[in-house]
Amino acid sequence: MITEMNNMERVFGRPESLRPVSTHYCPGCGHGIVNRLVAEVIDELGIREQTIGVAPVGCAVFLYNYLNVDMFEAAHGRAPAIATGCKRVHPNMTVFTYQGDGDLAAIGTAETIHAAARGENITTIFINNATYGMTGGQMAPTSLVGQKTTTSPTGRKIERAGYPIKMAELLATLDGPAYISRVSVSSAKYVVRAKQAIRKAFETQIKGLGYSLVEVLSPCPTDWHMTPAAAIEWLEENMLPHYPLGEFKVPQEAR
């Protein structure tokens, strides 16, 4: 078949900033899609050599094995602080964090809110998969009401565990952020939009406009105990209604 394609031109393939290695993600995991989107944006903007990434503690911890840019591995939740330290030293680099919902919305809440409030000129890619993937599927701050996880075995109960947090909406109320949006990777159409959002976030930073964040709704088939296809479906049926997609804050100049 490869020979069959020989006289054709490649219209889609692995972005250059993404190393030619297999990932450790489970089959059907949304992280893989978003890793690629970030690499594509870095390629398109031509900033591979001017980019410094911060990987989270979470399933995406090995992001540095995939992206071919300088990278930090953060402590759980502290990526925004690390990115801040880095950005202050290298104001001309494009500095981004990539974080899960446990990482960003639980243990890292303060670091997230304050990087945003400072208008720290960094970009955050926030993977909301409504669970703690890496540690085996515990309840996340973004787990839905009624969602069964290993630490909400009978489903998340409001009385005990409270309400799922909408980080994009929360952050958009602050003065610091320039760009905040929520996207999904549950269909190819959404994936295209997700990439546009990520690009916009990086561009916001490059223009020096301040903090940018893209929340990505992303399936975790393993910890949801579903097939990849079922996970996509569950995401669209359950997460989309609670976590509406859209732009919650756009840069002044782009309004």
Give the interface with its own copies as residue ranges (CB under 8 A): 106-110, 113-114, 117-120, 141, 158, 161-166, 169-170, 173-176
Which ranges of 51-131 would DSSP assign to H, the alpha helix?
A: 63-66, 79-89, 101-102, 109-117
Q: Judge contact between 105 and 167, C-beta under 8 A.
A: yes
**Number of C-beta neighbours around residue 138 at 10 A:** 17
Q: CB of 31: closest distance to ligand SF4 in angstroms?
A: 5
Q: CB of 49: closest distance to other proteins in angstroms?
A: 4
Output 178 or 214, the one with its CB closest to ligand TPP.
Answer: 214
Output 115 or 125, the one with its CB closest to ligand SF4.
Answer: 125
Residue 117 partner contact from ligand SF4, Mg ion, its own copies, none using kind-dependent CB cut-offs of 5 to 8 Å: its own copies
Cα(140)–Cα(126) distance, rounded to whole angstroms?
A: 13
Q: Judge contact between 201 and 212, C-beta under 8 A.
A: yes
Residue 100 found at the interface with Mg ion (CB under 5 A): yes
Residue 156 found at the interface with ligand SF4 (CB under 6 A): no
User: Comparing C-alpha atoms, which of 161, 73, 147, 81 is closest to residue 114?
Assistant: 81
Q: Judge contact between 105 and 165, C-beta under 8 A.
A: yes
Return the residue of 43, 45, 107, 169 that touches other proteins, per CB under 8 A. 107
Output 91 or 136, the one with its CB closest to its own copies.
Answer: 91
Q: CB of 203: closest distance to ligand SF4 in angstroms?
A: 27
